[in-house]
């Protein structure tokens, strides 16, 4: 209908736009692409365009890494105490309770045994969603006991680290002691001829990297993972210099000889099994 022949006060009715269910799409943190979540999950949470590896929770990591139905959790009953009776905006007990509720975990580390392509291993995974994967006394105790179990059982040890935090300030020196304790357990394992494969995911930082995560006989990292003791912004502010491009990424560390290899998540199982076979485990 021509514009000037329309009836006076013509009403235009717009159909209400249908609501799109939330949570169907995920934005890649690296390339910025919008990814269909189901397809992303089918690809082990790896961006098909830029190969960015999304962070996984401990249970998700265990499910995609171990042979189906073979993981047997150990030391799950260890409970976190509050030795300093820490108080702040939230007490330590409140913080623990909140993270237990949001993650479904009792602590930042899950340990046990499983099979990977038929090979039995001792497996530990830290989870950055639980107080940034920081190492309190329970995390250190779980890791230490698992190392000792691997040593006694003469099976390969694999720890997949995903920790943005180091020593847990809520526990003070009790937390700092875990760095020495886990490192001492690995030294004893090494003396017995054990095999330790350390896998660094995004992020692996601070006291976790400064202790057990950097002590692997073979150190593997996922692509584009942030790996270091302290963050790049803190380093720049301290030394008052601009850091090199890609500093503290897996690729930078591989170029400088600080890790042994970078392995895509979908190839990790075969790589671990192959290393164990090579060392006659």
The H or E element that residue 261 is part of is strand 261-262
β pairing state of 119-126 and 109-116: antiparallel
Give the residues across from 197 on adjacent strands.
158, 218
- pLDDT the model gives residue 233: 82
- pLDDT the model gives residue 228: 84
Query: What's the CA gap between 268 and 64, in Å, rounded?
Result: 10
Query: What's the CA gap between 78 and 112, in Å, rounded?
Result: 13
- pLDDT the model gives residue 14: 59
- pLDDT the model gives residue 4: 54
- pLDDT the model gives residue 5: 60
CATH architecture of 55-278: Alpha-Beta Complex (3.90)
Query: What's the CA gap between 109 and 160, in Å, rounded?
Result: 10
Q: Are 164 and 205 within 8 A, CB to CB?
A: yes
With a cut of 50, which residues of the chain have pLDDT below it? 1, 3
Dump pLDDT digits (tens) for 58-84.
899 999 999 999 999 999 989 888 888
Query: What's the CA gap between 279 and 148, in Å, rounded?
Result: 19
Written as one string, the DSSP assignment of 2-56 is -GGGSPTT---PPPPPPPPPTTSEEE-TTT--EEEHHHHHHTTTB-TTT--B---
Query: What's the CA gap between 207 and 229, in Å, rounded?
Result: 7
* In the chain, ranges of CATH 3.90.226.10 domains: 55-278
- pLDDT the model gives residue 109: 92
- pLDDT the model gives residue 17: 54
Query: What's the CA gap between 262 and 254, in Å, rounded?
Result: 7
Q: Are 160 and 197 within 8 A, CB to CB?
A: no
Query: What's the CA gap between 108 and 57, in Å, rounded?
Result: 10
- pLDDT the model gives residue 194: 94
């Amino acid at each position: 209908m021509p514009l000037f022949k329309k009836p006076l006060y013509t009403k235009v009715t717009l159909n209400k736009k249908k609501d799109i269910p939330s949570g169907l799409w995920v934005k890649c943190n690296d390339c910025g692409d919008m990814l269909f979540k189901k397809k992303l999950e089918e690809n082990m949470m790896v961006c098909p365009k830029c190969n960015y590896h999304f962070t996984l929770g401990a249970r998700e990591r265990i499910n995609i890494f171990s042979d189906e139905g073979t993981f047997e959790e150990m030391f799950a009953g260890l409970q976190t105490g509050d030795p300093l009776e820490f108080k702040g905006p939230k007490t330590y007990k409140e913080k623990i309770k909140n993270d237990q509720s949001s993650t479904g975990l009792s602590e930042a580390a899950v340990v046990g045994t499983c099979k990977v392509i038929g090979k039995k291993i001792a497996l530990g995974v830290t989870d950055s969603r639980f107080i940034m994967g920081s190492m309190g006394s329970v995390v250190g105790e779980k890791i230490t006991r698992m190392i000792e179990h691997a040593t006694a059982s003469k099976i390969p040890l694999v720890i997949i680290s995903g920790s943005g935090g180091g020593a847990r300030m809520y526990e003070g020196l009790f937390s700092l002691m875990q760095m020495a304790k886990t490192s001492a357990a690995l030294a004893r394992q090494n003396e017995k001829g054990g095999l330790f494969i350390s896998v660094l995911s995004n992020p692996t930082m601070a006291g976790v990297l400064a202790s057990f995560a950097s002590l692997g006989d073979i150190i593997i990292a996922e692509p584009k993972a942030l790996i270091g003791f302290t963050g790049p912004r803190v380093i720049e502010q301290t030394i008052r210099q601009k850091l090199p491009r890609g500093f503290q990424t897996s690729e930078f560390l591989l170029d400088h000889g600080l890790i042994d290899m970078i392995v895509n998540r979908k190839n990790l199982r075969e790589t671990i099994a192959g290393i164990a076979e090579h060392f006659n485990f």
